[in-house]
Structure 1
């Protein structure tokens, strides 16, 4: 008599539950032995199983193997069932091992497992006794494929979300480090950079120079042509200066119409030459009003250059570069002055210079 699906499912559940109580693993052989036991068609087998149990209802694997060899192994279907279950068990084990060890997608292996499942489904028509168990495992394989696809989709979505967040964070960091009007580094970034490069220069015994530059007569220009044109001047100066700053050099808007350039590994002489090159580049650019194309003339800059000395702090280096800048202003503007030309504090006065 061929059993209906519901009955085979019930027997399968009973067999697995009985195996669990006896403390045996649900291997193909143990499952076949206990399925035959709960099915009730072999009273001799059931009697031998009862005798094999100890006082707690447990059965050793050695006794189970003996019962299998004596009462089951010579049946017509036993070898086919063992082969069928073993092949399926090998496929599942290999799949899990590959996924666990490599972390790669299980999609290709799941497809192979699906083909194997179809073959096993055909085989179960010949062996109803193992049909219920195989149907359950096939169902698990299908669920695994579906969950794997879901996880892959979620992983792809998560990666894109992380990339978006990373781009947002980078944009926020850039905004925090840049001057909003000119796009060059802001004062806070300048302070951090100068402190870092000064420390490295002192530690490595390397030169470092600082250039401070100020747009000449900017307040008058701003009052005459308006703040929008003044902003245009600041952007133009930043663009020209940035084009002449290379490598580790760092350009920053120091404040208002004043800019700073940190020059690691640069001597005072080379820093002076670079400052003068920037000054000439700025002077060579004529400014035109955007709306009317009106010629607003040329822009000039005064620049001061200071060299790092061993006792220097950030404050003393900046103060010396600032003193050179105002010396350039006092000498007629549109020029570069370095600390070799700096007057003593008693001779120097910043009053009235703009």
Structure 2
């Protein structure tokens, strides 16, 4: 590294550490990786994500830091894995093509040899020439059979390699779209599924409902019992969401303790029924430690619902569902609110939902 590059890296590192100190971010290797990239401006999506959190005055909790690291650093590693698998597949295909090319050359050579051997009989067959021809045919045929067997073996091995690469790519694709903790769709898959669902609704004129859900008092719960128990709460909620949905419905972890449900072919009233079933079912369960029988208490959800208006921007749909979720929080939590309950003429009474608002409510 040149002196100028060293000075530049040092300046970026200092900006990263200053930003971490300013926002109370622990100086772990994972956090430093994120904030160095932020200070360097090397990943525009990462910069935008952190700026949103900062502008909404949200704190960088351990959960949020882990989520950001998983979203951006792990994504980069997945990209490298995809690239490596793609290069392996390309190498395997080149090997197969080379084998097939060699096979074609061997077959052509075999054909020319047969023609040459048969030419020895043009002057009239004799016992001696017939014996010679038979001997040469046996030799050439044995040689081509050995080559064919070797080709078959090598093609079989290449087939296994290609099949393994295909499985690796499928695993990478699945991991890239799945939240590693809860096993349901992650934010990336949610965005993709929501776009697809809106496009389908726009095409056939069908209904589409979006439910935003947030775990009540999750931060206090997490602070009291620890992150391991907090993770169990997140997994419990994900299981309830998955168990109450079916068909084309998509449950997703939207971020932190917030979840989202995409419900195609579902009206506002139908989505409210589903959301309330989820809320009631979860509220009936009490989380207990299997090791100590310690009761952690009940876990409840607040949920907000909006339906897609054909042709509208997805941001507008998300904002209405967020505002309905905010209203559910404001009205006492552990309840379902729909966009129909939002004030029509006084949007200021229920502000557009932001993570900063949830912070003030003690989400």
Task: State TM-score, norm by structure 2.
Answer: 0.63
Query: What do residues 139-165 of structure 1 show as CA deviations (whole Å, max 9, x unaligned)?
Result: 111112222222222222222111111
**Is 1:255 the counterpart of 2:255 in the alignment?**
yes
Q: Which has the larger radius of gyration?
A: 1
Query: What do residues 236-290 of structure 1 show as CA deviations (whole Å, max 9, x unaligned)?
Result: 1101111111111111100110000011111111111111111112112221124
Structure 1 residues not aligned, in runs of 5+: 1-19, 35-71, 73-77, 82-126
Segments ≥4 residues shifted beyond 6 Å: none
Q: Could you tell me how far 1:293 is from its partner in structure 2? A: 2.5
| Secondary structure class of the residue paired with 1:32 | coil
1:41-190 to structure 2, matched below 5 A, reads 78=125, 127-190=127-190
Q: Residues 328 and 129 (structure 1 numbering): CA distance in 2 closer, same or farther, change over 3 Å?
A: same
Give the match for residue 121 of structure 2. 32
Distance 2:120 2:245 in 1: 78
Higher RCO structure (Cα 8 Å, ≥6 apart): 2
Query: What do residues 111-145 of structure 1 show as CA deviations (whole Å, max 9, x unaligned)?
Result: xxxxxxxxxxxxxxxx2223223212111111122
How many pairs were matched up?
241
Give the match for residue 348 of structure 1. 350
Task: State TM-score, norm by structure 1.
Answer: 0.65
Distance 2:249 2:121 in 1: 79
Mapped contact 2:202–2:311 kept (Cα < 8 A): no
Query: What do residues 297-328 of structure 1 show as CA deviations (whole Å, max 9, x unaligned)?
Result: 11000000101113421100000000000111
Mapped contact 1:241–1:282 kept (Cα < 8 A): no
Give the match for residue 324 of structure 1. 324
What's the C-alpha RMSD, in Å, of the aligned pairs? 1.9
| Secondary structure class of the residue paired with 1:346 | helix
Q: Residues 33 and 227 (structure 1 numbering): CA distance in 2 closer, same or farther, change over 3 Å?
A: closer
| Secondary structure class of the residue paired with 1:243 | helix
Q: Residues 220 and 131 (structure 1 numbering): CA distance in 2 closer, same or farther, change over 3 Å?
A: same
Distance 1:203 1:269 in 2: 22
Q: Residues 27 and 231 (structure 1 numbering): CA distance in 2 closer, same or farther, change over 3 Å?
A: closer
Give the match for residue 334 of structure 1. 334
Distance 1:250 1:33 in 2: 77
Distance 1:139 1:265 in 2: 71
| Secondary structure class of the residue paired with 2:130 | helix
Give the match for residue 220 of structure 2. 220
**Is 1:242 the counterpart of 2:242 in the alignment?**
yes
Structure 2 residues not aligned, in runs of 5+: 1-111
Distance 2:133 2:311 in 1: 83
Mapped contact 1:186–1:253 kept (Cα < 8 A): yes
Q: Residues 303 and 33 (structure 1 numbering): CA distance in 2 closer, same or farther, change over 3 Å?
A: closer
**Is 1:232 the counterpart of 2:232 in the alignment?**
yes
Distance 2:206 2:175 in 1: 31
Mapped contact 2:120–2:129 kept (Cα < 8 A): no
| Secondary structure class of the residue paired with 1:306 | strand
